[in-house]
Structure 1
Amino acid sequence: MRTEAARLFARALESRFHATLHGAEHLPRSGGALLVGNHAYFGMDAWVLTALLLLQCNVVPRFLGERNLWRIPIVKQFLTSVGAIPGKPDDAVALLEAGELVAVYPGGVDDSFKLSSQAYTLQWKNRAGFARVAMRAKVPIIPVAATGVDELYQIDEREPFIGRAFGGSSRYDLPLPKSLSPRRVPLDYYLLEPIDTSGDPNDEAAVERVRHATESAIRSILDPYRERLVHKTF
């Protein structure tokens, strides 16, 4: 992923999406860290974030994916080829303890498959597994707020057949974009101040503190952005 070919591809993504990375100074100079962010349609945002991190920080994160996606052979093959792994807590902790930069989207497909009317809302449903993982590994969480990503496609409905057949529930109903070509919208990625993850990962109150702090940090960017967007488009 750090070859010259990878860098050329990364530069193409950076240019095509007018993408900018803010707050690179918040990444630790050594040791592991957990990137936690909002997710967009079909993971397009993850590709661009990876490109920016490679070009500006010379690092490529390992992404934790929704485990059910590994049940679909072609998706499993693709995710594995780009270094993603199923979101198993023990595996995530091992990577972080080994000094890797790991990225996760707590909203999973709930975030990625949301409608345009839900743009820049976090569909996390109070999931706190990411907080517990970071606390176990004793690494900081770097909140990542991405703007522009929910405007790449206009999605007003989802289909109830194909995705549900593979995923087993309506969570996997595939979004139906009005166009297959993404809009030319500038993408901005904000790496925010690290979240302190000290505390007992078995203490629910401590875990909730970390979860809430992470979500609040991301919403501090997304909420005002969505408010401006609502007045413009909805």
Structure 2
Amino acid sequence: MQNSTQDIPPFSFCERIAQFILPTFFANLQANGFTDLYDFLFNFYQNQSDLNEKLSAQYVDSINLNNSLINDFSQDLKCIYKLCLKIESNLFYLEWIFKLYLPLVYGSLIFIISPLLIFISLYASSFFLYLTKHWSKLKSDYEAHDVWQASIKCVLIFCESLGAILHGHELIGLENIPDEGPGLLIYYHGLLPVDYYYVHAKVKLYKNRQMKIVADRFLFKLPGFGSLLEALEVTPGSVESCTNILKEGNLMSISPGGVKEALYSDQNYQIIWGSRCGFAKVAQAARAPIIPMFTENSREAFRCFPYFEKFVHKIYEKTRLPLIPIYGIFPVKLRTYIGEPIPYDESRTPEELKQLTKERIEDLIKKNQRLPGSRLQAILDRFRVKRQKMD
């Protein structure tokens, strides 16, 4: 006969617990011919009198206990076992629920963490540029090779590669960017305008032209972004300073909607400029052409948590800080369209030029964007051949 609890193969999690609590009882079960606890209880239900005799022989021995005491013990044991089975079934159910929702939890974490990874990569780029900028000062032998510009190009190559991998980014109409002379690029502002940075990289890499960027002043308050803003030649920009930049023959980009358009526009891609026409004044004063730009699916790559939209709007109205709880990054197809330039016409007023530019961008949206935007369809666009809408 086996008389060790280690020799008794447990049939469930509950039996392991019971073996630990009642080792002598389990040893006696096997000594009396029971293979496990289940066999013991089965025999109890089938032949209670025979069970009582075995219990009496094992535990009572020479002590005279009446059958009612043994029956009470058997009933208590039966209740305890049923309770153990319920606990075990609940544990198995919880384990099943956990395994069922585990992929959803992981997926949610990815979409929540991805925007943080974007900011981390921007900080990493800024830190890299910061190091190479100062390293080039210390290593005078490399000054002739212009390490700073080489570092900027490395970051732009990384940015273009990121766009190709994450979004299959395409740029249509690059020929509308002039090879020389001034030009003012006006674009629609998505929730997180990664599409613009892909365009910025391509213009520098393939046209060898650096675009100055006019951005919201809050960007200059972010710690650690100084080197990156310097490398991309970002400026807060007044009408006078922007006019001078264009008069010097440079390219410049502005999103008139800015943060407000990012916050208040939606999947219908409304252009929200309000009364802003400073860019038109700049273009007229500098006699520079305006180049309209729009990126298909630019609002599908990132989304704002819907329950926080009203709260975010209130915070923005009071502080002018875009504290947006966004999630993404969804691998949607991004395709940027650069429209034909609007040439300078001295007979136009700034308001007329603003309206014409808005109409050109709305036309790009109408021809190339599915309305309302669909995240799923935008992802599927990566596997489709683009067919341009006809008027």
TM interval, short-chain normalised:
0.7 to 0.9
Q: What CA distance in whole angstroms lies between the structure 2 residues aligned with 1:75 and 1:87?
A: 20
- Aligned pairs (5 A) from 1:1-234: 3=150, 4-16=153-165, 17-70=167-220, 72-74=221-223, 77=226, 78-114=228-264, 117-155=266-304, 156=306, 157-158=308-309, 160=311, 164=315, 169=318, 171-177=320-326, 179=327, 181-199=328-346, 206-224=349-367, 225-227=369-371, 229=373
Are the counterparts in 2 of residues 143 and 217 from structure 1 also a CA contact under 8 Å? yes
Q: What CA distance in whole angstroms lies between the structure 2 residues aligned with 1:45 and 1:75?
A: 22
The one-letter code sitting in structure 1 at the alignment partner of 2:292 is: P
Are the structure 2 counterparts of residues 73 and 19 from structure 1 closer, same or farther at C-alpha, using a change threshold of 3 Å? closer
The one-letter code sitting in structure 2 at the alignment partner of 1:227 is: L
The one-letter code sitting in structure 1 at the alignment partner of 2:345 is: S
Are the structure 2 counterparts of residues 15 and 2 from structure 1 closer, same or farther at C-alpha, using a change threshold of 3 Å? farther
Work out the percentage of aligned pairs sharing the same amino acid. 24
Instruction: Give the root-mean-square deviation of aligned CA atoms.
Output: 2.9
Question: Over residues 59-98 of structure 1, what are the superposed CA-to-partner deviations in whole Å (9 max), with x where a residue is unaligned?
Answer: 231100123543x252773534531001211111111111
* Deviation, structure 1 residue 55: 3.0
Are the counterparts in 2 of residues 14 and 51 from structure 1 also a CA contact under 8 Å? no
More strand, by proportion: 1
Paired residues in the alignment total 223
Are the counterparts in 2 of residues 42 and 113 from structure 1 also a CA contact under 8 Å? no
The one-letter code sitting in structure 1 at the alignment partner of 2:174 is: A
Bigger radius of gyration among the two: 2
* Deviation, structure 1 residue 31: 0.7
* Deviation, structure 1 residue 197: 2.7
Give 3-state SS (helix, strand or coil) of 1:55's partner.
helix
Q: What CA distance in whole angstroms lies between the structure 1 residues aligned with 2:322 and 2:182?
A: 35
Which structure 2 residue ranges, 5 or more long, are not aligned?
1-147, 378-391
Are the structure 2 counterparts of residues 11 and 67 from structure 1 closer, same or farther at C-alpha, using a change threshold of 3 Å? closer
Question: Over residues 133-153 of structure 1, what are the superposed CA-to-partner deviations in whole Å (9 max), with x where a residue is unaligned?
Answer: 000001100011111211111
Q: What CA distance in whole angstroms lies between the structure 1 residues aligned with 2:218 and 2:372?
A: 35
Q: What CA distance in whole angstroms lies between the structure 2 residues aligned with 1:207 and 1:33?
A: 16
Are the structure 2 counterparts of residues 229 and 43 from structure 1 closer, same or farther at C-alpha, using a change threshold of 3 Å? closer
Give 3-state SS (helix, strand or coil) of 1:132's partner.
helix
Q: What CA distance in whole angstroms lies between the structure 2 residues aligned with 1:213 and 1:69?
A: 29
Q: What CA distance in whole angstroms lies between the structure 2 residues aligned with 1:229 and 1:158?
A: 18
Question: With CA pairs under 8 Å and 6+ residues apart, which has the higher RCO, 1 or 2?
Answer: 1
More helix, by proportion: 2
Are the counterparts in 2 of residues 196 and 210 from structure 1 also a CA contact under 8 Å? no
Runs (4 or more) in structure 1 with deviation over 6 Å come to none
Which structure 1 residue ranges, 5 or more long, are not aligned?
none
Q: What CA distance in whole angstroms lies between the structure 2 residues aligned with 1:26 and 1:18?
A: 21
Are the counterparts in 2 of residues 11 and 55 from structure 1 also a CA contact under 8 Å? no
- The TM-score normalised by the length of structure 2 is 0.51
* Deviation, structure 1 residue 112: 2.3
